[in-house]
Copies of this chain bind each other. A is one copy, B any other.
């Protein structure tokens, strides 16, 4: 039997990652998948596309872990140097691999294009490496062993990486006898600051023995993670800990498990046979984007009117001109009229509105940057909420999305959170 995989490291390569052009979304995607399989991800690194930097990081990480996932730098251009760097780390040469060439040629046949000379570079692999199929793009991946570590190299293009992890990497990992590192429970909380969550569950967070409890915060949602061993004793401790935290969190706990607030709201709407339409001003389509990110959301999400111009509010949502004149676009009265307007026009069960000042410009002493009004119109009437959020444009918009979804969740009647999954 091969060695079990206990410790996982991830290396993302590319100048764009150290230059700050884009966030590395590949590493968290892979970390999340492996974590759900029980692996312990101990470190993630990003380096540029220099051959020496990649080779050094790969050698260091391979010596510290059982599985190393590497992404990026196997495309067709001259700055794609990961093939050579990984070969350096493994102390082998690079050569054209017939199986890899067949993959490249099959890709171009599939898409009906002619491979360019540079695409042939993509068939070059470190000696002894095995091809990992790429069902989406032109660059095949590969795997090899460095020291005791299984090293798997994938393209940096997120859609290609994701398709390859699902099709090829997980089977590879499972074949290596992945050892379960423990059991994890997630509790999803909205509407409380991190410090208040921390105090409510303080007794569990201060424990030095399992279950170990940690919290993370993102855009107004707090995720609590409790981890213990996967045996009966660990599960029993987790059950007790989660039950206690449920009581402490009350209806701020919106779900258990790996579920976003948007996915939870879509699920609740579907379970209740309800639908929603949106009237978004300062959130500019982000609430719609969050809901439609959930596969199957078309069952419950009818439409969003992203109304930036006042004229659009008047026409699309039938907001009375007098309201706009008297109270201004960012006001409780207009938020209420927007929610009612989109509910009436769309025929949805619920209408949800946002109108606010995301900044950096547009603030006044009475209506400062960060002020957002929300309303939910439903069968039971209209609920309004006015909040002022701290931070910059992105932060205000992101808090506003969470708050709008939470207000809709509450209008749906929070109920008990769905069973863990």
Interface residues of A (CB under 8 A from B): 14-25, 27-35, 41-49, 53, 57, 75-79, 111, 116-119, 136-138, 157-160, 162-163, 194-199, 202, 205-206, 213-218, 223, 225, 277-278, 280, 284-289, 291-293, 295-298, 301-309, 311-312, 315-316, 345-347, 359-361, 390-395, 397
Contact = CB atoms under 8 A, between A and B. Distances in A.
A118 B17 contact: no
Contact of A285 (B77, B78, B306): B306
B16 A216 contact: yes
A205 B78 contact: yes
A363 B291 CA distance: 20
21 contacts: A15-B216, A16-B223, A18-B42, A18-B43, A20-B27, A20-B33, A43-B45, A43-B53, A76-B195, A77-B195, A79-B205, A136-B391, A288-B288, A293-B393, A293-B394, A295-B360, A295-B393, A297-B308, A302-B309, A302-B312, A303-B307
Contacts of A303: 305-309, 312, 316
A53 B42 contact: yes
Contacts of A14: 216
B306 A77 contact: no
A15 to B, nearest CB: 5
Ranked nearest first, the 5 interchain pairs of A and B with the lowest CB-CB distance are A20-B32, A284-B292, A159-B391, A285-B288, A20-B31
A119 to B, nearest CB: 6
A77 B215 contact: yes
A305 B215 CA distance: 37
A216 B21 contact: yes
Copies of this chain, how many?
2
Nearest to A203: B78
Interface centre among A76, A160, A196 (most CB of B within 10 A): A76
Given A138-B195, A159-B391, A391-B163, A278 B306 contact: yes
A160 B390 CA distance: 9
A116 B34 contact: no
Given A75-B195, A118-B198, A298-B308, 10 more contacts: A21-B218, A42-B48, A44-B46, A45-B45, A77-B197, A77-B205, A117-B199, A118-B202, A159-B395, A285-B288
Given A302-B309, A345-B315, A75 B41 contact: no
Contacts of A218: 16, 21-22
A157 B111 CA distance: 43
A416 to B, nearest CB: 24
A77 B198 contact: yes
Given A23-B24, A214-B15, A216-B21, A194 B76 contact: yes
B32 A43 contact: no
A30 B20 contact: yes
